[in-house]
C-alpha cells in the first residue's frame, strides 16, 4: 500500500493502483507476504521527518576500515624501531645520571667540605692514624671558631719541619683550638691543668688518658686574629707550646684555618662525630672581663 498526502489528508491505494477510501482501505485484503504499512509505521515515519526537520540527523556507525596485513606489519616495524631508540643509553642520559651528581659532589668538595687522611698520633685517641675526616670549609667564615673546635689549618711557620709525620696532606695540620684572640692560656707544669683567663679547665673528656695537659710550664697571650692550638695527645704533639719562638709565639692565624672537623667517616668501625666539647669551656670568661 502506498500513501500520498493531498490537502492535508491521505489517499490510500491498493496494490493494484486503485484508490480506496479510508474505510475501504481498512477492509481491503492483501496478498499473502505483501508489506502493509500500519498506523504505527506511519507515526514512526512522521517522528523521523520531524527530527530531521529540526536538524538532528541520525548518526549511523561508520563501517570498520579493513586493516591489511601490510599496514599491520608496517605499524609493528614502527613500534619496534621506536622501542629500540627508547632503550638506547644516550649521552644525555649519561649526563643526567652521572654528570650532574659528579658536578654536585665536585662543588661540595671545593666550596663546602674537605676530606683528609690522618697519618699522625698527635690527636689520639680522638683521631688515630689512618682515620679519614670530613671537615666543614664553611664553618670558620659562617659560624666562626669556638674553643674546643678541631681545626684544619695551613702550616703557619714551618711546623712540619719538626713534625713531618703530622702532615695530613697539602701542608695542613689538625689540632684542637684552645685559646681565642685575647685569651691568656697557661699551665704551671706537669700534673697541673691548663688555665684560660685564670680559669682551670678539665680536659679529661678528650685528652689521651694518662697524659698530662702539659709536661712543662708556659703562658701565652693570644694575639688578635690568632688561635692557640693543642693536640689531644699532649705527649706526642708538636703544637703551639713548641713554637713560641717562631715569630708568632706559636699561634695560628685564623686566616690559615681552612675547615672545622665534623666527623670520621673511614674506616667504618671508626665512624663518629668529632666532638668539640664546648661544655669544657663554659666557665671561661671572655678576655675583656677577665681583668687581664
Active-site amino acid positions: 122, 175
- Other C-beta atoms closer than 10 Å to the C-beta of 211 total 18
Query: Beta strands of the chain (E only): which ranges?
Result: 2-6, 9-13, 19-20, 113-117, 132-136, 150-154, 172-179, 184-187, 194-196, 199-200, 218-221, 226-230, 252-253, 257-266, 272-273
Q: Cα 125 from chain centroid?
A: 33
- Degrees, nearest 5: CA angle 283-288-290: 50
Q: Which grid cell is 129? A: 692514624
DSSP state of 193: P
Contact (Cβ atoms closer than 8 angstroms) between residue 275 and residue 206: yes
Amino acid at each position: 500500500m502506498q500513501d500520498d498526502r493531498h490537502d492535508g489528508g491521505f489517499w490510500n491505494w491498493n496494490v493494484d493502483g486503485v484508490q480506496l477510501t479510508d474505510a475501504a482501505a481498512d477492509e481491503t485484503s492483501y496478498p499473502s507476504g505483501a508489506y502493509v504499512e500500519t498506523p504505527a509505521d506511519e507515526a514512526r515515519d512522521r517522528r523521523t521527518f520531524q527530527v530531521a526537520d529540526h536538524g538532528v540527523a541520525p548518526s549511523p556507525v561508520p563501517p570498520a576500515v579493513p586493516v591489511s596485513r601490510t599496514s599491520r606489519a608496517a605499524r609493528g616495524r614502527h613500534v619496534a624501531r621506536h622501542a629500540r631508540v627508547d632503550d638506547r643509553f644516550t649521552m644525555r642520559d649519561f649526563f643526567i645520571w652521572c654528570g650532574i651528581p659528579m658536578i654536585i659532589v665536585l662543588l661540595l668538595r671545593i666550596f663546602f667540605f674537605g676530606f683528609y687522611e690522618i697519618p699522625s698520633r698527635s690527636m689520639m685517641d680522638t683521631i688515630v692514624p689512618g682515620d679519614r675526616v670530613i671537615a666543614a670549609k664553611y664553618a670558620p667564615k659562617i659560624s666562626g671558631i669556638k674553643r674546643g673546635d678541631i681545626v684544619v689549618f695551613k702550616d703557619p711557620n714551618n711546623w712540619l719541619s719538626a713534625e713531618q709525620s703530622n702532615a695530613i696532606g697539602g701542608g695542613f695540620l689538625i689540632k684542637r683550638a684552645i685559646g681565642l684572640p685575647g685569651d691568656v692560656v697557661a699551665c704551671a707544669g706537669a700534673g697541673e691543668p691548663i688555665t684560660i683567663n685564670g680559669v682551670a679547665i678539665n680536659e679529661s673528656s678528650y685528652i689521651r688518658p694518662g697524659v698530662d695537659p702539659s709536661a712543662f710550664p708556659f703562658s701565652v697571650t693570644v694575639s688578635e686574629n690568632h688561635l692557640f692550638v693543642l693536640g689531644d695527645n699532649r705527649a706526642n704533639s708538636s703544637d703551639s707550646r713548641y713554637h713560641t719562638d717562631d715569630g708568632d709565639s706559636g699561634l695560628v692565624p685564623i686566616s690559615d684555618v681552612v675547615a672545622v672537623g665534623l666527623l670520621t667517616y673511614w674506616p667504618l668501625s671508626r665512624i663518629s662525630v668529632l666532638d668539640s666539647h664546648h661544655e669544657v669551656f663554659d666557665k671561661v670568661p671572655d678576655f675583656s672581663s677577665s681583668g687581664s
